[in-house]
Each structure stands twice: as C-alpha cells, then as structure tokens.
C-alpha cells in the first residue's frame, strides 16, 4: 500500500513536471532567442545562443519608449482601480443597507448589464466620449468604472451581507455620519474583497488592448500593450528586437506575480466562483 | 436605522452615472444606430432593417461567425478537458511542488492577449520551423499561412492560456470535496479512477456549468489574440466576429452596419449567459 502510494506520487510529479515544461516552453524560447543576433534566430531557433548578446535590449527599450509606456500603464491601471474600489464599494453599501424596491431594481440593473459584451456598445461609446472630448486617459478611467462596476458591486454586496447592521447603528448612535461609518468602520472590513476587486481589474486593465487603442491616440500616452502592438507592426521581420520587447513587456507582470501570488490566486478563484 | 434618501443617492451616484454614460446610453444609441447609415460623423437617413438584411447576405460576416463558433466549440472542449486535468494534477498532493505547478499553469492568464499572440506567432513561425528541421516532420512548416493552421494556431494559443484559469475554478470545487469521503472510499478499496468518477465528478458538476459557459462566452469575445496572432489573415479567413465588427466600424467607417452586427453579437452572448444562469439556478434548486 505504501509502496503503491509512493509510486503514484512519482507519477503525479512526473506528469506535472512534463506539463509544466510544455507550458513554460514558449516563454523559454522567447527568452533565449531575445539574446541572439538577428541571423542566429534564423539558423538556430531551438538551442541556447552560441554567443549571447544583450544588444537587442537597449534598442527595444528605446523603441518601446519603455519607461514612459510603463508609467502610462501604471497610471491608468491604478487610477481606474482607485475610483472603482471607492465608488463601487459605496454603491454596494447603500444597496445592502437600504433594502427597498429601488435597491432591488438597481441591483437587477447591474446584473442585466453584465450580459452586454463590450463590442456591442463600443461604437456609440466612442462617439459619445469623442463628442465631449473625453477620448483621453481620464475618459478611459470613467469607461473602466462603468464596465467593471457590475462585477465589483456584486463582490462587495456579497461581503457586506456578512457584516451586521448593528455595527453601523452603534456607530451612528455614537455620533458618526454615514460617510464616517462607511469609511472608518465598513470599508476596512471589506479589505479581502477589495483585494479580489483590485486583482481582477489590474489584470484586465494592465493587459487591455482594444479599448485603449480606441481611446488613446497620442503616442506619448500609449500603454505597454499598445506600444508593443505598434512596435511589432514596424519590426515584424526583426525578431531579435521584437522578442526583446516581448520580454520587457512581460517582466513587470512576472515580478508582480512573484510578490503577490497569494493574493492573485485568491482573487481569481473568488472572482470566478462567486 | 434607515439611510437618509439624499445620502443613499450620494453613495450610488458615481457608479450609476458611470454605467449610465458608459453602458446604458451607448446601448440605446447602438440599437438606434443599427437602423441607420451612420458613418461616424452623422446619420443621413434611417434605413429600417436594411443593415440586418445585408448582414444575413454578407458572406464575409457569416464566415467570421462560423469561424468564431467553430473556434469556440473546439476551444471550450479543449480548455475544460485540460483545465480539469491540470486541477487534478495539482490537487493530488498538497505540497510545495503542486503550488509551483499551479503557478506555472496559471501564468499565461496574467499576460495580455496581444503579447501572448506575438509569443505564439514566434513559436508557430520560427520555432516550428526549427522543430521541422530537427524532426523532418512536414507538419511543422507553413503555420499561420493558411486557414487551417491559423484556426488551430488560435485554438492552441487560447487553450494554453485559458486552461490555467479554468483550472482555478475546478481546484476550488475539488478542494470542497470532503476528505472523509475520499478516505472512506480508499479504505473500501476504490482506486483513483473510481474515486474520480464516483465521488469527485458528481461533486464538481456545478463547476462544469460555470466553466463551460464562461469559456464559451470568452471564446466568442476573443479579439486581442486574433489580432496579434493572425491579424485575421490570410485574406480575412481567420477573422473572428469581433474583428469583423471592428473592421467594418473603424476601417470602413460603416458604423451603422457594424452596429447591426454588434447587436446580433449581443444577442448571441446574452443568450449564452442566460442559458448559463438558468442551468446554474436550476441546479441550485434541485439540490
């Protein structure tokens, strides 16, 4: 019995290992080839470089305008998330603390809007925002607030059901107003849900291409995915530069993943199952 | 202690205003556009159902819909089979190495479709050539150059990306399978296959409903990966529905017509989601 289980253990590790290698292989190939010269990529794609070179990276860094694209991505992602976390938790708080027909109707409206795919509102959305001169980073943040609100409101609403109303009432008797109750007592208790909301939206906004490509039209404002896309179009036959650019685009994500893995995995499973 | 009316609306206002201007007004405006010849600047006339009649006769649009539907069905099967497989691998033992595996399988989901598409473009174009030279197998050459390899290229990319995501859903259900149950069956002599079929499988059934429809609607909505991997080529033969809509709107400036396509797309996605909700609810009631 024990021997059998040990044998099973080995099989699982072996299967897991082989699958992991298959999963990583595309990243590995991109990474090793980014250290090759243009010519070597064509003659020797699968092996390690004969004569590793870092020469592709400075060029890719410059052509990607990496630091400016990185800052644009950081700004748009954090700005959008900040307003989403604040406003949707407030909305969910109001809905959960005042059960009424109005609240139910608003909740139902949020649910209904989840059925609407982005492509079906894309054209009028861009027209409307263009008319009021909001095709810029600020406009993009408002769009993200609208598009991400249903999911965030549901997550917060679910968490708020577990926080007793007696807590609010005690604080109000002690002289707090609603905003103080929310900000000092309720909002800190929603921390775990906030992490989920932040993780889910960070992955979305950081990587989003279609919406920013429609909204942001000044090259200096481009995010990493936008810049990567245009860069690739220009350098499509120059794999050595293109691959270095891909590695640069991935690095910030991998670094974040290593530091915040626990939260990311939790955020994803909570968001997917609830 | 009730919320004061004014305070209640102040808490809700920012979010409600955002959905009003970002989703509700565009949604109504979109339905309106779909009956017009809107070109991005102005509406010259209302054309009634012309746009809808036109899309039914538009071979390119119908092809993109069929391509998308085929892509979605094949991907959904692949993603769920492999995602469940991965979940079973990493839940067999609770140890460090399982965590490492899980981290690796999940990684593609953190990276955007544009970057993943370019990574796989490199794999299919260059690395596959290298594999062909190494093994002498014909099948490694000429990827993404025709519709068939373009289709399978997209499927491989999407399955590789999404399996890790779906794995997370299956893991959370598998972790809820009571240990006593598995232990009891082990004592009774059930092997791991029997334990899977008779104990785990029925208990994770709700995960199938969630995962199937989630992957189905995600597959229908794919755009970035399509854009970066094949760009719709060769000759728009691997153009998916979303790219077809995008191109008629922003490349050909036929916004009214594109919006009619977008309304059809909306109906398909909404139907998929409603069926999912129906099944999930029904199961909850049955239990």
Tens-digit pLDDT profile for residues B231-278: 887 888 899 999 999 999 999 999 999 999 999 999 999 998 888 888
Of A23, A46, A268, the CB nearest to B130: A46
Three-state SS string across chain A, please? CHHHHHHHHHHHHHHHHHHHHHHHHHHHHHHHHCCCCHHHHHHCCCCCCCCCCCCHHHHHHHHHCHHHHHHHHHHHHHHHHHHHHHHHHHHHHHHHHCCCHHHHHHHHHHHHHCCCCHHHCHHHHHHHHHHCCCCCHHHHHHHHHHHHHHHHHHHHHHHHCCCCHHHHHHHHHCCCCHHHHHHHHHHHHCHHHHHHHHHHHHHHHHHCCHHHHHHCCCHHHCCHHHHHHHHHHHCCCCHHHHHHHHHHHHHHHHHHHHHHHHHHHHHHHHHHHC
Instruction: Give the per-residue pLDDT at B72.
Output: 95
| Number of residues that this document lists for chain A | 274
Instruction: Give the per-residue pLDDT at A1.
Output: 47
Percentage of chain A lying above the pLDDT 90 cut? 59
Average pLDDT over chain A reads 89
Binned at pLDDT 50, 70 and 90, residue A6 comes out as low
Residues in chain B with CB shorter than 8 Å from the CB of A148 are none
Residues in chain A with CB shorter than 8 Å from the CB of B228 are 229, 232
Number of C-alpha atoms within 13 angstroms, CB side, residue B165? Answer: 22
Task: Read off the pLDDT of each residue in A36-64 and give the average, rounded to a whole number.
Answer: 84
Please check whether residue A77 is in contact with residue A225, taking contact to mean a CB–CB distance below 8 angstroms. no
Binned at pLDDT 50, 70 and 90, residue B287 comes out as low
User: In Å, how far is A15's CA from the nearest CA of chain B?
Assistant: 8
Task: Read off the pLDDT of each residue in B38-48 and give the average, rounded to a whole number.
Answer: 87
Of B1, B22, B270, the CB nearest to A146: B22
The whole-angstrom separation of Cα A21 and Cα A214 is 37
Owner of token pair 């044998």: A7
Instruction: Give the per-residue pLDDT at A226.
Output: 93
Please say if the pLDDT value at position A268 is more than 80: no
Cα B64 from chain centroid (whole Å): 16
φ and ψ at A240, to 5 degrees? -60, -40
Which superfamily is assigned to B58-283 in CATH?
A: MetI-like (1.10.3720.10)
Return the closest-CA partner of residue A157 out of A178, A186, A136: A186
- In order of B80, B82, B118, B186, B283, the CA distances from B76 in angstroms are 6, 10, 22, 32, 21
Sequence-distant (≥ 6) Cβ neighbours of residue B236 within 8 angstroms: B60, B64, B244
Tens-digit pLDDT profile for residues A157-205: 999 999 998 888 888 888 888 999 999 999 999 999 999 899 889 999 9
User: In Å, how far is A23's CA from the nearest CA of chain B?
Assistant: 6
Task: Read off the pLDDT of each residue in B99-109 and give the average, rounded to a whole number.
Answer: 90
Tens-digit pLDDT profile for residues A85-106: 999 999 999 999 998 999 999 9
Please check whether residue B255 is in contact with residue B38, taking contact to mean a CB–CB distance below 8 angstroms. yes
Residue of B nearest to A214 (CA): B250
Assess A112–B contact: CB distance below 8 Å, yes or no.
no
Of A44, A239, A273, the CB nearest to B172: A273
Identify the sign of the CA torsion A88, A90, A95, A97.
positive
Instruction: Give the per-residue pLDDT at B123.
Output: 93
- Cβ neighbours of B59 (radius 10 Å): 7
The whole-angstrom separation of Cα B223 and Cα B239 is 9
Reading phi first (left if > 0) and then psi (alpha if -120 to 50, else beta), residue B194 is in alpha
Please check whether residue B169 is in contact with residue A273, taking contact to mean a CB–CB distance below 8 angstroms. yes
Residue of B nearest to A228 (CA): B115
Written as six digits, the tokens of A132 are 């009021």
User: In Å, how far is B7's CA from the nearest CA of chain A?
Assistant: 8
Instruction: Give the per-residue pLDDT at B276.
Output: 80
Residues in chain A with CB shorter than 8 Å from the CB of B97 are 13, 16
Binned at pLDDT 50, 70 and 90, residue B1 comes out as low
Percentage of chain A lying above the pLDDT 70 cut? 96
Please say if the pLDDT value at position B96 is more than 70: yes
Please say if the pLDDT value at position B154 is more than 80: yes
pLDDT higher at B179 or B116:
B116
Percentage of chain B lying above the pLDDT 70 cut? 98
Of A91, A178, A207, the CB nearest to B3: A178
Of A115, A118, A243, the CB nearest to B270: A115
The highest-confidence range among A28-37, A139-148, B3-12, by mean pLDDT, is A139-148
The whole-angstrom separation of Cα B16 and Cα A87 is 10
Please say if the pLDDT value at position A109 is more than 70: yes
Select from A4, A8, A9, A16 the residue whose CB has the most chain B CBs within 10 Å, as the one to mutate to test that interface.
A16
Written as six digits, the tokens of A61 are 């860094």
Average pLDDT over chain B reads 89
Task: Read off the pLDDT of each residue in B47-66 and give the average, rounded to a whole number.
Answer: 92
Instruction: Give the per-residue pLDDT at A257.
Output: 85
Select from A119, A212, A245, A259 the residue whose CB has the most chain B CBs within 10 Å, as the one to mutate to test that interface.
A119
| CA dihedral angle for residue A124, residue A126, residue A129, residue A132, rounded to 10 degrees | -90
Task: Give the ipTM of the model, two decimals please.
Answer: 0.89
């Amino acid at each position: 019995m024990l021997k059998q289980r040990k044998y099973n253990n080995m099989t699982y590790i072996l299967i897991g290992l082989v699958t992991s290698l298959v999963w990583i292989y595309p990243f590995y190939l991109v990474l090793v080839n980014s250290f090759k010269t243009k010519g070597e990529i064509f003659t020797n794609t699968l092996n390690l470089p004969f004569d590793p070179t870092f020469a592709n990276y400075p060029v890719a860094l410059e052509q990607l305008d990496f630091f400016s694209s990185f800052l644009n991505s950081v700004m748009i992602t954090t700005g959008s998330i900040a307003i989403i976390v604040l406003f949707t938790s407030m909305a969910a708080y109001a809905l959960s603390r005042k059960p009424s027909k109005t609240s139910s109707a608003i909740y139902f409206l949020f649910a209904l809007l989840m059925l609407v795919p982005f492509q079906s509102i894309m054209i009028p959305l861009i027209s409307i925002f263009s008319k009021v001169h909001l095709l810029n980073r600020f406009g993009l943040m408002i769009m993200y607030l609208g598009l991400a609100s249903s999911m965030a409101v549901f997550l917060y609403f679910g968490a708020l059901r577990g926080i007793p109303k007696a807590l609010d009432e005690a604080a109000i008797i002690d002289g707090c107003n609603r905003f103080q109750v929310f900000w000092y007592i309720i909002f800190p208790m929603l921390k775990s849900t906030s992490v989920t909301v932040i993780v889910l939206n960070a992955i979305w906004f950081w990587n989003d291409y279609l919406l920013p490509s429609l909204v942001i039209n000044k090259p200096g404002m481009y995010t990493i995915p936008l810049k990567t896309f245009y860069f690739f179009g220009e350098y499509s036959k120059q794999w050595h530069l293109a691959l270095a650019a891909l590695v640069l685009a991935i690095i910030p994500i991998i670094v974040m993943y290593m530091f915040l893995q626990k939260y990311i995995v939790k955020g994803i499973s909570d968001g997917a199952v609830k | 202690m009730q919320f004061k009316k004014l305070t209640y609306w102040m808490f809700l206002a920012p979010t409600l205003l955002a959905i009003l201007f970002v989703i509700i007004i565009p949604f109504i405006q979109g339905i309106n556009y779909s009956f017009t010849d809107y070109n991005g600047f102005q509406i010259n006339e209302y054309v009634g159902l012309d746009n809808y009649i036109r899309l039914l006769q538009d071979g390119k649009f119908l092809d993109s819909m069929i391509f998308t539907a085929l892509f979605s069905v094949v991907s959904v099967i692949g993603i769920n089979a492999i995602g469940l497989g991965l979940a079973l691998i990493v839940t067999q033992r609770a140890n460090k190495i399982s965590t490492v595996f899980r981290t690796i399988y999940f990684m593609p989901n953190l990276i955007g479709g544009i970057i993943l598409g370019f990574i796989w473009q490199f794999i299919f174009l260059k690395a596959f050539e290298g594999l062909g030279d190494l093994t002498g197998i014909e099948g490694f050459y000429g990827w993404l150059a025709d519709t068939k390899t373009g289709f399978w290229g997209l499927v491989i990319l999407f399955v590789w990306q999404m399996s890790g995501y779906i794995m997370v859903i299956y893991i959370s259900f598998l972790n809820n399978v009571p240990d006593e149950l598995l232990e009891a069956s082990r004592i009774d002599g059930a092997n791991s296959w029997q334990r899977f079929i008779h104990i785990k499988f029925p208990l994770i059934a709700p995960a199938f409903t969630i995962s199937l429809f989630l992957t189905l609607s995600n597959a229908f909505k794919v755009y970035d990966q399509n854009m970066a991997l094949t760009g719709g080529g060769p000759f728009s033969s691997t153009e998916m529905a979303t790219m077809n809509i995008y191109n008629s709107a922003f490349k050909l400036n036929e916004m009214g017509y594109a919006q009619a396509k977008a309304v059809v797309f909306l109906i398909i996605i909404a139907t998929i989601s409603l069926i999912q909700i129906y099944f999930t609810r029904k199961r909850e009631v049955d239990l």
